Amino acid sequence: MARHRQSTKIKAEQKNPDLPPSQELIPCEGCSVVHPPVFIPTEEQPKPPVPSCKHASAPAECPLRKYMSEAAHLEVEIGPGMGRFILAHSANNPDIQMVGIEKETVRVAHVDIEARKRGINNLRLVCGEALPFLIACVPPASVEKLYIFYPDPWPKRKHHKNRLFQKNFIDAVWNCLKPDGTLNAVTDHADYFRHMLEVMEGEGRFELTDAFTRTEDERTDFELRFTALGMEAHTASWKKR
Catalytic residue chosen out of the listed positions 18, 112, 152, 221: 152
What burial letters (b/e) apply to 61-100, b meaning 16+ CB within 10 Å?
ebebbbbbeebeebbbbbbbbbbbbbbbbbbeeeebbbbb
pTM of the model: 0.90
Please choose, from the candidates 123, 122, 147, 121, the residue with its C-alpha nearest in 3D space to the C-alpha of residue 134: 147
User: Any catalytic annotation for residue 191?
Assistant: no
Render each residue's pLDDT in the chain as its tens digit; 241 residues. 677 788 899 989 999 999 999 999 888 877 887 777 778 888 888 888 888 887 878 888 888 889 999 999 999 999 999 999 999 999 999 999 999 999 999 999 999 999 999 999 999 999 998 999 999 899 999 999 999 999 988 889 898 888 999 999 999 999 999 999 999 999 989 999 999 999 999 888 999 999 999 999 999 888 888 778 777 889 999 999 9
Give the tens place of pLDDT for each residue, 48-73.
888 888 787 888 888 888 999 999 99
Contact present, 76 and 178 (Cβ < 8 Å): no
At CA 83, angle to CA 125 and CA 80, rounded to 5? 65
Residue 166 burial class via C-beta count within 10 angstroms: exposed 0-12, middle 13-18, buried 19 and up: middle
User: What was the pLDDT predicted at 240?
Assistant: 97
Please choose, from the candidates 39, 92, 96, the residue with its C-alpha nearest in 3D space to the C-alpha of residue 73: 96
Contact present, 172 and 135 (Cβ < 8 Å): yes
User: What was the pLDDT predicted at 1?
Assistant: 62
Contact present, 94 and 42 (Cβ < 8 Å): no
Domains of the chain in start order, with CATH, are 55-240 (3.40.50.150)
